[in-house]
Chain A
Amino acid sequence: MNKKLIEAQKNAEDVKLAEMPLEPSADFTRRVLEACAGNYVERKLCEMPIEPSADFTRNVMAEITVEAPTLIAFPLRFKRAMRVLRFSAAGIVALASIGIFFSFSGTHPKNSLNEQIASVLDSDPELAEMVSADDEFSFNELLAVSQLLTTLNKNSEQASDFFAYYEN
């Protein structure tokens, strides 16, 4: 009795399990394909399928050498110097004093130039404050401004000597 009941119940379950009561929605296929396409799109968008040609770097460097041979010689330094010149007259005088300081300092070991500038800044808190107040201010710019001032002031012989040394 029990066995028959259990068997009947199992059959009923099998029939139920075999049923497919739901029909896919009309756009089911489209949504699956879109999901697949979306997956493919995301993968492909991250790819970098092209390897640069072997001579790409050489070509670019050749182009740069041809097109901009004197680009960084004077104009750029002049532009940077002019940007620094916007600070103040007091600042300019202070900067000029750096060049004069170096010109009187006897020998000018090129590799300790930054140390010498740091030393000047240490001894002049006002100048140091002005320098630290501007994010764009660098040692190179200090030198560029000093050089510009030297160019403007033909009488500053010692400063000219110093910058002649620095350039060489």
Chain B
Amino acid sequence: MLPDQINDPDSFRMSLIAGGDFSAMRELVERWQKPLINFFYRSVNSVHTAEDLAQATFVKIFKNAGTYEAKAKFPTWLFCVARSVLISNFRKESVRPIAFAAPEDLANIGTSGEDGRVAELEQAFSEAVKTLPEKHRSAILLLCQQGLSYEEIANVMDASVPNVKTWIFRARQVLRERLSVFIEK
């Protein structure tokens, strides 16, 4: 019975949460808050909004704990919920990132000294990530930042593995191009 729940501490926590165990929920929040907040931060570029979205995700997880089935690794379900919160936020707030930012715009970010230059590079990177199409950005963040496999990302995004690979390839390509234009300037 439920072999995954025995082997995976997070799935086991979810079964406790479904039974109303608040201390298990607290453990889950403490364990996953940093990955979640950083996942959202790269999408919205605001610490405050990232924390709000992470909080909304945890509340949603608590409310839906009874429907959780330990058929895949817990992060797959977690980021599936997180992504739905993110997309719903884009729709609600109409803050969906624009689909394209011209490399010149990134290159035109002002310069003042070497320290400023590093900060500007960081800013250019953040802007470049934020302006990727949502699917491309989520896929590459789940791979690089969260360490999910291509198969797990495909599950999170309800897509095929080849699609996921294509999105990640394009995201890398676009980020490289935009950043190299910035560095060249």
Contact = CB atoms under 8 A, between A and B. Distances in A.
Contacts of A44: 122, 125
Contacts, number: 123
Interface in B135-185: 140-141, 144-145, 172, 175-180, 182-184
Interface string A47-89: 1111111001101110111011001110010011000000000
Majority secondary structure of chain A interface residues (helix, strand, loop or mixed): helix
Interface of A: 29-30, 33-34, 36-38, 40-42, 44-53, 56-57, 59-61, 63-65, 67-68, 71-73, 76, 79-80, 131-132, 135-138, 140
Contacts of A33: 180, 183-184
B33 A52 contact: yes
- Interface residue tally on B, bucketed by range: 35 or more
Contact of A36 (B35, B59, B140, B180): B180
Contacts of B22: 61, 64-65
B1 interface: yes
A139 B7 CA distance: 18
B61 to A, nearest CB: 9
Contacts of A138: 1-2, 15
Contact of B55 (A45, A46, A59, A131): A59
- Which of A45, A56, A136, A137 has the most B CB atoms < 10 Å from its CB? A45
12 contacts: A37-B176, A37-B177, A41-B172, A42-B144, A44-B125, A48-B38, A53-B51, A57-B30, A60-B59, A68-B59, A68-B63, A71-B20
